[in-house]
Structure 1
Amino acid sequence: MVVSRSRRARATRRRAGRMARADNDLTPVQWAAIREAWAGCAYCGATDRALQRDCVLPLSRGGRYTLGNVVPACGSCNASKNNDEVTGWLRRKKLDESAFLLRHREVVVLLSVTPTDTAV
């Protein structure tokens, strides 16, 4: 039990360090626009659950919380994906990889041309 707690504490410290070093520039307004554009979990489409910010390219692999790298994910998908590469994870879960990638691109392009940086 003690080993598990110390391992969890180390993981928490490492993640906090990665977050502090990463250039995270996603604003609350942008996050709201992302949630609205996806209208549910980006991976499974669930609309009846709370959504979390998930990095398509995980922080542990060099990702950041930015407009082009964050999608809304239900807790189940976010926990399952963990820090896996998104396309491999989608294949393993038998989710539609090409539909996700196309929709992700559409949302990024839409939000890149739509002003989302206005104050709340």
Structure 2
Amino acid sequence: MANATRRLRATRRRRRRLAQVEHDLEAGQWDALRAAWGGCAYCGARDVPLQRDCVLPISRGGRYTLDNVVPACGACNASKCNAEVTGWMRRKRLDERAFLLRHAQIRTGLRAVVPEAGPGR
């Protein structure tokens, strides 16, 4: 019973956080991100279902935007939870420098190709 109550409270908190900010990641942008990364942005897993993961978690002020979302496998997304990405990558012994460089390159490349979502779109 306590777990159900805790889960319900967490769900309500998440909904409130999501409602407080504007998320502007469109379906075409998400498709372009998945294609650019070619798999999980963190571990590189391919041929697995990918989830939208916020580099800066929503609980820490992040939003679903082209600059803040990367594709992640379920295991990496669940493991990262709301941790800061570089600290989490160090704990998992993943190459944070390579991730950050690739993330910057992909963001820059996609901004030139994929139009940003505007207000009311």
| Both proteins in one fold, TM over 0.5 | yes
Q: Aligned partner of 1:6: which letter?
A: T
Secondary structure of the residue that 1:9 maps to in structure 2?
helix
Distance (Å, rounded) in 2 between the aligned partners of 1:41 and 1:110: 18
Distance (Å, rounded) in 2 between the aligned partners of 1:44 and 1:115: 25
**Aligned residues, how many?**
117
Q: What residue is the counterpart of 1:98 in the other structure?
A: 97
**TM-aligned CA deviation for residue 85 of structure 1:** 0.1
Segments of 4+ moved more than 6 angstroms: none
**TM-aligned CA deviation for residue 115 of structure 1:** 2.9
Distance (Å, rounded) in 2 between the aligned partners of 1:115 and 1:59: 23
* 2:37 matches 1:38: yes
TM-score, normalised on structure 1? Answer: 0.94
Q: Aligned partner of 1:4: which letter?
A: N
**TM-aligned CA deviation for residue 48 of structure 1:** 2.0
CA RMSD, aligned part only?
1.2
Distance (Å, rounded) in 2 between the aligned partners of 1:117 and 1:88: 29
Distance (Å, rounded) in 2 between the aligned partners of 1:22 and 1:98: 29
Output one character per residue of 1:18-52: Cα deviation in whole Å (capped at 9) or x when no partner.
11112100000000000000000000000021000
Instruction: Mark the runs of 5 or more structure 2 residues left unpaired by the alignment.
Output: none
Conserved 8 A contact 1:68-1:108? yes
TM-score, normalised on structure 2? Answer: 0.94
